[in-house]
């Protein structure tokens, strides 16, 4: 990321008339080095480094004056969301499990966009922490307009017989209980026009033979999104989900 940023800065800048959706950028290509990161993975250790800051994206104030709380905001998709939300004008709170170095990098990236960022270290499987995270966000940043449920646990298991009870329990508690707890604690603080965005997955639609438990939870997230959107429509709170395919993040093996 740093190397690519340096190259981008060295290039002459042409006059831009308006915001661009994306810019031409050279992405890493195979072969990649063999590597495996113990869970929870850390973005700083990934080689090649993921691209997250979309330097050609010009914000247009879509989220000016808003506050977003993003779980799993220290790395991967969560970090990219945090940075681009900040570029659109939002102050950001990021929840993370234990990856302090990654969280500080995300905080610095958000602040480089001229926005405020607080970091909240804890476990979304615990309701008490989720309540505390929401309360601290509102206290520090003044409000809560957007909840991004993004924190997840994923470990490949090629043999169904090797999927242990502990592994299964951790996946469900993180990917389902975490989303449920965060949403239930956030809603009382959200005004009409607020939004909840849940990170689903293509595995929740198509399944994955090596990610049986993960696929189950992502399918559950899609159903949760549809059900909760109907439940909260009367309060003026939108609930949507995104279902990405594979992304180069610490979640991957």
List the beta strands (DSSP E) in the chain.
Answer: 67-71, 91-96, 117-121, 146-149, 195-199, 238-242
- According to the model, what pLDDT value does residue 19 have? 42
Q: Is there a domain that residue 6 lies in?
A: no
31 assigned to some structural domain: no
pLDDT digits (tens, 9 = 90+) for 157-196: 889 999 999 999 999 999 999 999 999 999 999 999 999 9
Flag whether 40 is in a domain. no
State both tokens at 43. Answer: 């973005």
For residue 86, what pLDDT is reported?
96
108 belongs to a structural domain = yes
Residue 198 domain flag: yes
CA-nearest of 217, 216, 208 to 180 is 217
Residue 207 lies in a domain: yes
Model confidence, pTM: 0.80
Give the pLDDT confidence score for residue 17 in this predicted structure: 45
Active-site residue (options: 52, 96, 179, 214)? 214
List, as one string, the DSSP characters of 86-135.
HHTT-EEEEEESS-HHHHHHHHHHHHHTT--EEEEES-TTSHHHHHHHHH
14 assigned to some structural domain: no
- Looking at residue 18, its pLDDT comes to 44
Q: Is 214 a catalytic residue?
A: yes
Q: What's the number of domains the chain is made of? A: 1
Residues spanned by the domain of 203: 47-242
Q: Are 182 and 147 in contact (CB under 8 A)?
A: yes
138 within some domain: yes
DSSP-derived 3-state class of residue 145: coil
CB of 180 within 8 A of CB of 126?
A: no
CATH number for position 230: 3.40.50.720
Residues 93-107 pLDDT 10s: 999 998 899 899 999
| pLDDT for the residue numbered 20 | 41
């Amino acid at each position: 990321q740093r190397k690519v940023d340096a190259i981008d800065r060295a290039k002459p800048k042409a006059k831009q008339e308006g915001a661009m959706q994306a810019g031409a950028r050279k992405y890493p290509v195979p072969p990649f080095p063999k590597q495996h990161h113990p869970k929870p993975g850390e973005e700083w250790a990934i080689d090649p480094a993921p691209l997250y800051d979309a330097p050609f994206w010009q914000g247009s104030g879509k989220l000016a004056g808003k506050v977003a709380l993003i779980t799993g905001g220290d790395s991967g998709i969560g970090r990219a969301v945090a940075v681009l939300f900040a570029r659109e004008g939002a102050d950001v709170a990021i929840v993370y499990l234990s990856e302090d170095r990654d969280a500080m990098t995300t905080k610095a990236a958000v602040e480089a966009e001229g926005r405020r960022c607080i970091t909240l270290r804890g476990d979304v499987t615990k309701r008490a922490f989720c309540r505390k995270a929401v309360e601290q966000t509102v206290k520090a940043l003044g409000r809560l307009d957007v909840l991004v449920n993004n924190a997840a646990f994923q470990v490949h298991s090629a043999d169904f017989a090797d999927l242990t009870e502990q592994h299964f329990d951790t996946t469900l508690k993180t990917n389902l209980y975490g989303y449920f707890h965060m949403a239930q604690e956030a809603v009382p603080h959200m005004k009409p026009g607020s939004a909840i965005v849940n990170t689903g997955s293509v595995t929740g639609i198509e399944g994955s033979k090596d990610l049986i438990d993960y696929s189950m939870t992502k399918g559950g997230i899609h159903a949760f999104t549809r059900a909760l959107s109907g439940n909260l429509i009367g309060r003026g709170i939108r609930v949507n989900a995104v279902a990405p395919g594979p992304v180069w993040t610490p979640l991957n093996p």
